[in-house]
Structure 1
């Protein structure tokens, strides 16, 4: 029997703009033009007639209707109502120069700092807002009961995978991070029922991570995907899908806001697992902290 993938977020619970942003890569080119207009300025899009929006997106009214259905709306009137509500609840940056997260040519360092800080904070907040606690609970259950946990990621996502492995290892969970695709594949081939494989990919299209997760699933392991895009290829080989809500901006593709959003999810899972084994986890953290204490500057002086 085919497994049913469980996803952590829907547009009903997480906000329409986040939902559209996550679906953008799966839309047709014409629908993507509509989506970018909607995401860039929900209030302006809500004021437009269907003809106005189609003209601005250089497409047809039929495409706008297809876009509405692709993002879960019955039609354009419902989309306008949802966009108006979204615009009303949107939090704007305190600095008027921080617009959309993009850093314009000639921006001074103060503007760069304000832009990065605002968008990184928003990525963390919106990721937490759209996470489904029920799906997270099921992932924590799977990890808590797993014989072993294999974690995979490449590039910036690899740093997050390594961080997750280290966190789980410190509380006594058997966990491995495999940065090389060959060793990852050989490890995944040895997984089985009762094991968990976690694949981390912001785009959800990193072939190495998708392939390894697919291998783990074929061997009977429970598979978990952490991605920004709920219709990306990695979700097709995952039993559980956890999504982030990072919006990449100038100079920051796949490296900053996405990494912070992923770390937010990883920390939630880690604390969830630790909370199931509170006494054991606390003791493990104390023992591992003691093991490296002598390697801290001034430790010997403080112990006297």
Structure 2
């Protein structure tokens, strides 16, 4: 299956598009890489819609302007076209596939997801999220179901920083703990659908208490995004037997890895001390070479 960057880019916004925006989205997806050769006037003539309407659509899907949008499209399609002919991006697996072919498809899908991430990652958003964390005393992680697993992995990683961190799996405990947080705290909420009732309820309590909220989700129009101070929208495509939460998990963890690494180097001295203290504490769990 041929990879279409525009289809992947627009996919998370489809639920929130009105009839006019849907026309623009379909036309751009049909054009594919050819959209980089178009002007607003061209697209206006081809769709029968005003240039202002098309410009607003481009803004809605996360770009500051039409030129910025075309640069992103051009760089992404060029990245994939420069691959060898043998490199094919797969979305689904069939029953006739051998284990090795399945391995190829899964790896190629993960490569696609990560390349989409680096192409669409907003530098200002990333810096804003890092600033929210750096201006906080604690970092708190929330999620339900599969998102809870990602939240726990993130919590385990950030324990190595200088910050006090918290994670609770039980929903009632999450609600209770949320009432204890305030303006000096930061919360990172995970929900791929963006519509998980429990996570939204936790988010509302956090917002009422003035907590800094960072959201990682797959739905840019969700209520959860509206509660956040900074929101990362993860682009992914559905597969017949793998839910979006599973296919995009790698992207969520990579975003956390990026933030974690930047945080660690932002105050290297304090974070190095925290890391050494943790390693020292954990040393009692390992066999010593000098034991008989």
Length-normalised TM-score, structure 2: 0.77
Q: Hey, what's the Cα distance between the residues in 1 that align with 2:13 and 2:164?
A: 35
1:180 aligns with 2:170: yes
Q: Hey, what's the Cα distance between the residues in 2 that align with 1:172 and 1:84?
A: 39
Aligned to 1:232: 222
Aligned to 1:241: 231
1:72 aligns with 2:72: no
Q: Which moved more, 1:263-272 or 1:283-292?
A: 283-292
Distance 1:34-1:303 versus aligned 2 partners, 3 A rule:
farther
Superposition pairs of residues 71-220 of structure 1, within 5 angstroms? 71-72=57-58, 85=74, 88-89=77-78, 91=80, 98-220=88-210
Q: Hey, what's the Cα distance between the residues in 2 that align with 1:99 and 1:106?
A: 17
Indicate which of 270, 275, 286 corresponds to 1:285. 275
Q: Hey, what's the Cα distance between the residues in 2 that align with 1:94 and 1:302?
A: 53
Aligned to 1:252: 242
Distance 1:104-1:165 versus aligned 2 partners, 3 A rule:
same
Is the Cα contact below 8 Å between 1:127 and 1:246 reproduced in 2? no
2:288 counterpart SS class = helix
Shift of 1:210: 1.7
Aligned to 2:63: none
Q: Hey, what's the Cα distance between the residues in 2 that align with 1:198 and 1:32?
A: 32
1:301 aligns with 2:289: yes
Shift of 1:269: 1.2
1:192 counterpart SS class = coil
Aligned to 1:58: none
Q: Hey, what's the Cα distance between the residues in 2 that align with 1:185 and 1:156?
A: 18
Alignment gaps of 5+ in structure 1: 1-14, 48-60
Length-normalised TM-score, structure 1: 0.74
Shift of 1:25: 2.6
Shift of 1:214: 1.7
Q: Deviations over 1:115-151 (max 9, x none)?
A: 1101112212221332222222221122122122221
Is the Cα contact below 8 Å between 1:224 and 1:241 reproduced in 2? yes
Q: Which protein, 1 or 2, shows the higher relative CO under an 8 Å CA cutoff with sep ≥ 6? A: 1
Is the Cα contact below 8 Å between 1:196 and 1:221 reproduced in 2? yes
Aligned to 2:40: none
What is the aligned-residue RMSD (CA, Å)? 3.8
Shift of 1:259: 0.7
Distance 1:281-1:99 versus aligned 2 partners, 3 A rule:
closer
Is the Cα contact below 8 Å between 2:36 and 2:74 reproduced in 1? no
Q: Hey, what's the Cα distance between the residues in 2 that align with 1:199 and 1:121?
A: 25
Distance 1:276-1:176 versus aligned 2 partners, 3 A rule:
same
Shift of 1:216: 0.3
Q: Hey, what's the Cα distance between the residues in 1 that align with 2:247 and 2:84?
A: 19
Is the Cα contact below 8 Å between 2:192 and 2:245 reproduced in 1? no
Alignment gaps of 5+ in structure 2: 38-46, 61-65
